[in-house]
Structure 1
Amino acid sequence: MRIKKPFGILALALFLSAPAAAGPLPPILIAHVAPTTGRFALHAEADRRGAEMAIEDFNRQGGVLGREIVLISSNPTMDAKKSAEVAETLITRNKVGFMVGAIASNVAASMSAVAQKYGVIFINTNSSAPSESLENAHRSKFVFDASGANFNRALLKYALKDRKSKRVLQLIEDNAAGHSNAEAMRPYIAEYGGQLVGEVLAPENLSDPTEVLNQVAAIPADVVTVVISGDNQIKLFSRIDPRVLERQFWIVGEVDWEELYPAPGTPRPLFGTTWAWNLDTPGSQAFVERYRQRYGHTRLDWPGDVTHAAYLATRALLEAIARAGTTDNHAIIAQLEQYRAEPRSRMQHDAAYMDPVSHHLQQTIYIARWKPDPARPERGIEIVGRVSPEQAQHAPEKNTRLESLTETPRYSP
């Protein structure tokens, strides 16, 4: 470039210091992390769909803070060490702004610890171990699924009410989530007059449930509580004689749609959930119709609680960014700690609110049952009752200890 004198030096200085022409703002990069292989693969797909639908809502309106939102997917596997490595790579190499997902609680615990190290906000959309909002809670993590403690508190009260004999047996998946849920359940067994008479452990890699069911049958019990999830739950109940469920009162802390819909001929006892496609609540039918328009041709052609939770959790994150007016993590954390959603926007019967102490969303718990109908499996779910957020809240969460904001690094993607 040729500069004319006598203005050459001044013109060159102005040229070098002038800002570049304004261009489009960089996108906000969100990583969706959930195990896309193994027994939670269908859950991971359902979770990602919910996040996608929420992001589409905002991108149709120009994104957030004038920035497009881009979702990338990563498979952390079910291995805690590998999950931590994936989180490290996403943050340091891919420069993601936020992380959503989880499904498996050990994955959530591992990845969120890494996220806290950098100050990256982690939205746990769907994993239900009580430990997620107790010993594994973090200032930068927010848990949007109800926990097994919430579900089992509601179910145990229902199961033990007016029952003369209250012997309770726990059937537990032998992993962190299973043990966390079982431990959280025990005080409620005692609170409602139950007597814990034993526990049976089911291996995490449950290929044949016969031996597990034989152990259960050998222990006299009136109520059997089941803390088993994913494909293992399908295998278990496919081998249970329905007459056993008639003689004993079995309850399952949580049954996701992804454990019901693919196995329409498999019976289930009473269970807990946070949403069902046929709920008569404001907004539910419109959400179902929108989902069906996009995914009605797929294997999971009706939406369930996992998609619902991921959708609302991702929306909560994006709304918090918009309200904060910045991507600064401290400002967004402050907004998420004040999160409250009225029934209409939650598609539930009660308002939901974020507990600022535990960073765990308190929401309506529904008691449901499953009437298998192989011809029309979407019709199998029936809601028989509900419990308010206050009635289902897990008491130990009032003592959760989070890192302070000063201990949480600033992060502004």
Structure 2
Amino acid sequence: MYRTGYYARFLGAFTLSVVAFSSSAQGTITIGELNSYKTQPAFLGPYKHGMELAIEQVNAAGGVNGKKLALVTRDDNSNPGDAVRAAEELLTRDKADVLCGTFLSNIGLAVTDFARHKKVFFLASEPLTDKIVWADGNHYTYRLRNSTYMQVAMLIPAAVKMNKKRWAVVYPNYEYGQSAVATFKKLLKAAQPDVEFVAEQATPLGKIDAGNVVQALSDAKPEAMFNVLFAGDLAKFVRAGTQRNFFKNLSVVSMLTGEPEYLDPLGKETPVGWVVTGYPWYAIDTPEHKKFLDAYQAKFHDYPRLGSVVGYNTILSLAAGIGRAGSTDTEALVKAFKNLPVNTPFGPIVYRGIDHQSTMGAYVGTLAIKDGKGVMENFTYVDGAQVQPSDAQVRKWRPASAD
């Protein structure tokens, strides 16, 4: 697991100085973005489309402070060391004015630490780990996507309503999964003190032995389950569980499973009745979302995924922050992002000054099958501001030196 100080240990005495010359001086603002495009294409292909759409719209409207936005992307190979190298190259070779991106939590933490050492602005678009804004938070880093804590808190009311005592948990064995399960146990215990966790399966990311995992969980005879698996691991787990009738009469709450990136591949195998967080793009009836949906489909002749919204919101956020700052100066951007409002396809969000976390929310609903496809039904939008801990708690978790 990644720890703060990775960047310093990785570079050692080798340091690259950031060239003071900025492309913004020539009338262009260069956004340097890095991500795990090769290893997480289901999410990050649509994510890149979302960024491209937003840049096209911003530039068509005159740009930011009279300057056009340009996007330069690099692949981090889902490796912290490669991510640090990519971030260095974006700054020194591509002359990026700001940094953004990352997907996996350990990668996001590596670049967060890089931003702290380099004193450069970084908008973490997707990684969910709470550490990015709390324990390992820093002055230079903000985060767009709702955190692990927020996602878990969205599911707790449904878990409590199930009124089950014996719970099992299954999760990918890295920062995101570990944090999600720890938070779920803590919040559920607080709401339902008599709950028991009778089985726990931590699987290697991308390498789940689904049959054995399902059997181990089944042997414990749980009444309910909290699932944190996603992507290919989720599909294999659902298939193995269905084949063994593991999900019959089992109450389930599941993070991310309602996102099209992970729900669509399940098709007819979609586990009906699971309560999930997700993105029912086909049934959201708000003016903000309809405008985004129409523009996205017109440009790409495809429907958006959750990644599309995250990529789109990343660029909108940077445009709003740079516009408020009046420049790409790091300190001006840090100040501008504090309590920065941004209008998005999910409605207005704000970047909290206290911990640099946005209030972007998510949809919570129940899985069903319609026309052979998995869908979310009976969903509601949960505003991220409603599922964050108190300011007093945040101050305990976030070091004072971060600000």
Of 326-335 and 189-198, more deviation after overlay is shown by 189-198
Equivalent residue for 2:288? 283
Distance in 1, Cα, partners of 2:138 & 2:158: 33
Residue deviations 1:35-94 (CA, integer Å, cap 9, x gap)? 1112x1221112111111111121112322222211111100111122112112222332
**What is the TM-score normalised by the length of structure 1?**
0.83
Change in Cα spacing, 1:358 to 1:191, as seen in structure 2 (3 Å) is same
Count of residues paired in the alignment: 371
The answer to whether the 8 Å contact 2:363/2:381 transfers is yes
The answer to whether the 8 Å contact 1:264/1:373 transfers is no
Q: Alignment partner for residue 252 of structure 2, among 240, 250, 253?
A: 250
Equivalent residue for 1:20? none
Distance in 2, Cα, partners of 1:261 & 1:355: 33
Equivalence map 1:333-412=2 (5 Å): 333-341=334-342, 345-348=343-346, 351-373=348-370, 377=373, 380-395=375-390, 396-399=393-396, 400-401=398-399, 403=401
Equivalent residue for 1:187? 186
Equivalent residue for 2:4? none
Shift of 1:207: 4.8
Change in Cα spacing, 1:402 to 1:206, as seen in structure 2 (3 Å) is farther
One-letter code aligned to 1:224: M
Distance in 1, Cα, partners of 2:200 & 2:65: 52
Equivalent residue for 2:56? 56
Residue deviations 1:228-284 (CA, integer Å, cap 9, x gap)? 222222222232218533411111122332112233233142111366342112211
Equivalent residue for 1:113? 113
Distance in 2, Cα, partners of 1:234 & 1:112: 31
Change in Cα spacing, 1:26 to 1:363, as seen in structure 2 (3 Å) is closer
Distance in 2, Cα, partners of 1:31 & 1:48: 13
Equivalent residue for 1:79? 79
Equivalent residue for 1:9? none
Distance in 2, Cα, partners of 1:402 & 1:310: 30
Shift of 1:402: 6.0
Equivalence map 1:239-318=2 (5 Å): 239-241=240-242, 243-255=245-257, 256-268=259-271, 269-273=274-278, 276-296=281-301, 301-318=302-319
The answer to whether the 8 Å contact 1:358/1:402 transfers is no
Shift of 1:333: 1.3
The answer to whether the 8 Å contact 1:277/1:285 transfers is no
Gaps of 5+ in 1: 1-22, 406-413
Distance in 2, Cα, partners of 1:207 & 1:172: 10
Matched, 1:34 2:38: no
Shift of 1:180: 1.6
SS at match of 2:31: strand
Of 190-199 and 266-275, more deviation after overlay is shown by 266-275
Shift of 1:317: 1.1
One-letter code aligned to 1:336: F
**What is the TM-score normalised by the length of structure 2?**
0.85
The answer to whether the 8 Å contact 1:130/1:148 transfers is yes
Residue deviations 1:172-213 (CA, integer Å, cap 9, x gap)? 211121112112222111122033333211121325411111
Structure showing greater radius of gyration is 1
Change in Cα spacing, 1:24 to 1:227, as seen in structure 2 (3 Å) is closer
Equivalence map 1:195-274=2 (5 Å): 195-241=196-242, 243-255=245-257, 256-268=259-271, 269-273=274-278
One-letter code aligned to 1:41: P
Change in Cα spacing, 1:37 to 1:188, as seen in structure 2 (3 Å) is same
One-letter code aligned to 1:34: N
The answer to whether the 8 Å contact 2:214/2:246 transfers is no
Equivalent pairs: percent with the same residue? 18
The answer to whether the 8 Å contact 2:260/2:279 transfers is no
Change in Cα spacing, 1:265 to 1:200, as seen in structure 2 (3 Å) is same
Shift of 1:348: 3.3
The answer to whether the 8 Å contact 2:31/2:69 transfers is yes
RMSD of aligned C-alpha atoms?
Answer: 2.4
SS at match of 2:304: coil
Residue deviations 1:378-408 (CA, integer Å, cap 9, x gap)? x723342343434311455343126456xxx
Distance in 2, Cα, partners of 1:230 & 1:137: 27
Change in Cα spacing, 1:162 to 1:175, as seen in structure 2 (3 Å) is closer
Residue deviations 1:119-161 (CA, integer Å, cap 9, x gap)? 2221122122222222232221111111232122221221222
Equivalent residue for 1:101? 101
One-letter code aligned to 1:196: F
Equivalent residue for 2:134? 134
The answer to whether the 8 Å contact 1:130/1:181 transfers is no
One-letter code aligned to 1:90: L
SS at match of 1:310: helix
Change in Cα spacing, 1:150 to 1:275, as seen in structure 2 (3 Å) is farther
Distance in 1, Cα, partners of 2:269 & 2:137: 35
The answer to whether the 8 Å contact 1:252/1:270 transfers is yes
Of 28-37 and 196-205, more deviation after overlay is shown by 196-205
SS at match of 2:241: coil
Distance in 2, Cα, partners of 1:238 & 1:367: 23
